[in-house]
A and B are shown apart, each in its own frame.
Chain A
Amino acid sequence: MSTPGAHGLDAHLVVDRGTFRLDLRLQVAPGETVALLGPNGAGKTTALRALAGLEDLSEGHIALDGVVLDGVVPDSAVPDGALPDRPRGGARWVPPEHRRIGVVFQDYLLFPHLNAVENIAFGPRRRGLGRAEARALAAEWLDRVGLGDFGKRRPGQLSGGQAQRVALARALATDPALLLLDEPLAALDARTRLDTRVELHRHLAGLAGPAVLVTHDPVDALMLADRLVVVEDGRAVQEGDGESVTARPRTDYIARLVGLNLYRGTASGRTVRLASGEVLATAEALEGDSFAAFPPSAVALFRTEPDGSPRNTWRAVVAGVHRHGDHLRVQLDGPIRATADVTPAAAAQLGLEPGQEVWAAVKAAEIRAYPA
């Protein structure tokens, strides 16, 4: 695409709070949407706030389209006085109101004393548009998000999905150079979420600038973003497009999200030796530090030791059984902890119950191995 830093977002976000440290490098190209995916408390929202200028960086930098918003300014990067700045010991810090960054907040934060049109017109007014022009622009945006008739409504009179769309229109109406979305769909019920997600995707696809989306929902991340950055404990633990991240998870968090059993070990040819000492036979040949992953549906359970075929087999203890869609999900304890999916018929035949000993088997062809 383009050289990092010159166009789009180039950031190294370091926020040190003593007990918690965020250290995240982030590059987003124009037109690209990146999702920060991670559990609660991973630092995703802190990263977003730092980008918006609502949180101070301890170290690092933020540059948007080649302009440094926070951090030390390289001599070559910025012409003098290009932006209103406040020098802090040789560093540059641009306050939020001068950053041209649109933010859609998790609970929208629509101004309760203004109606929908006035909320959207707020940004354009501050950017110097006249009252009438700003209102016209706001009405246009309201139309664009399909709420043309709701201009006079106060935020309290809007449904969750409508408020979300007004918040999106309010952020976009300022023509931001970067769009930030903090859990944009988290506050919606399941049905509204579906519709709103489709519409949000349409708006993100039409965006010329970069966008950063924070979510803990893998479905939102996969459907809305071009690229995922998985954040845990303030650091990026995995990065890539949806396919590569879901097919080859690198942490338990992702593996659980996408429903895979994940192990780490040392590969040697077509085997991976796990930390526990167990050896898994795999399809691909590999050397060195590796991951091995297989879906719960690949696990077959038996009462007695099965024989034949290139299978991995081990003795396991049933730790729990619960419904999962139209089958049963079985938690297995033992040398290899795993989850297995079995049909209700198979479960009945096996008489599965917690504490029972079973044999688990996974074909080598079902186990994916990839370098750590």
Chain B
Amino acid sequence: MPAKRNRQRRRVPAALLVPAAAGLAFLILPLAGLLARAPWTELPARLAEPAMLDALRLSLVTASLATALSLLFGVPIAWLLARGDFPGRSLLRALVTVPLVLPPVVGGVALLLVFGRSGIVGTWLHERFDVTIPFSTTAVVLAMTFVSMPFLVVSVEGALRGADVRFEEAAATLGAGRWTVFTHVTLPMIAPGVLAGAVLCWARALGEFGATITFAGNFPGRTQTMPLAVYLALQSDLEAAIVLSLILLAVSVAVLASLRERWTAVA
């Protein structure tokens, strides 16, 4: 029975299968638990609560603004890292990606030190324009941008490196200057990468907790985003925490699904 013997030989070793199964259970069970404990019947009513809507609206608006800022500054940074030819480029790349591994609370503290009333930029902003950033909605957006922009930069830089420069050369021979080449050839060709980066960036911003609570505080309607609201609700109203968590879970799954489609479509 050669066929059967082959099957046996291909069987996954128990030493791998058991930890894999345990690990999967560990990843999936909490999400299942969340779904099991969800107050499905009261869900519509709870979702309509003003506090809930405030947090949701604030989160969506600030995460979108942070993504817009990341696109505005991150795409040029990515271009510089991918196409620029200057000394210290690898150092710059390392610096840009630091927020990826930095504990967000540290990022929040750092932002507070720079943009706080006694910080370098904060003092100047306060004296010149009478603007105070910490513990405002602006602070939420800045905190989100700080932690999520590297996701966009890394994604776009990868797309730029993968793009064939010869298309840009072809565009140049057709009379396109460098800026036109960028807007009319490079950008459309790396659009899938930019989109994937923007989605990742947005998802990261939406889940931002540490830097936000440190730099922006936790004021309902102003700086209290969904993750902050979940944390707060956990101490008083478990059901509310579950509902908020469900929304965040749904958004994450939607992001993942959209990215998968993107990636398989590109491949």
Contacts and interface: CB of A to CB of B under 8 A. Distances in A.
**Does A pair with B?**
yes
Contacts of A126: 174-176, 180
Interface string A125-156: 01100000000000000000000000000000
A109 B170 contact: yes
A52 B174 contact: no
A54 B172 contact: yes
B105 interface: no
Interface stretch (A95-103, A196-204, A242-250): A95-103
28 contacts: A53-B172, A53-B173, A54-B172, A95-B172, A96-B172, A96-B173, A97-B173, A97-B174, A97-B175, A97-B176, A98-B175, A101-B173, A103-B170, A103-B173, A105-B166, A105-B170, A109-B164, A111-B171, A111-B185, A111-B188, A111-B189, A113-B188, A122-B174, A123-B174, A123-B175, A126-B176, A127-B175, A171-B174
Contacts of A99: 173
* The 10 nearest A-B residue pairs measured at CB: A126-B175, A123-B174, A96-B172, A109-B170, A113-B188, A103-B173, A126-B176, A97-B172, A97-B175, A54-B169
B231 interface: no
Interface residues of B, number: 18
Contacts of A235: none
A112 interface: yes
Interface residues of A, number: 24
Contacts of A109: 164, 166-167, 169-170
A127 B171 CA distance: 12
B188 A170 contact: no
A174 interface: yes
Interface in B173-196: 173-177, 180, 184-185, 188-189, 191
Pick from A99, A102, A122 the residue with the most CB of B within 10 Å.
Answer: A122
Interface string A220-246: 000000000000000000000000000
A105 B172 CA distance: 13
Contacts of B180: 126
Given A105-B166, A113-B189, A170 B172 contact: no
Nearest to B174: A123
A170 B166 contact: no
B167 A97 contact: no
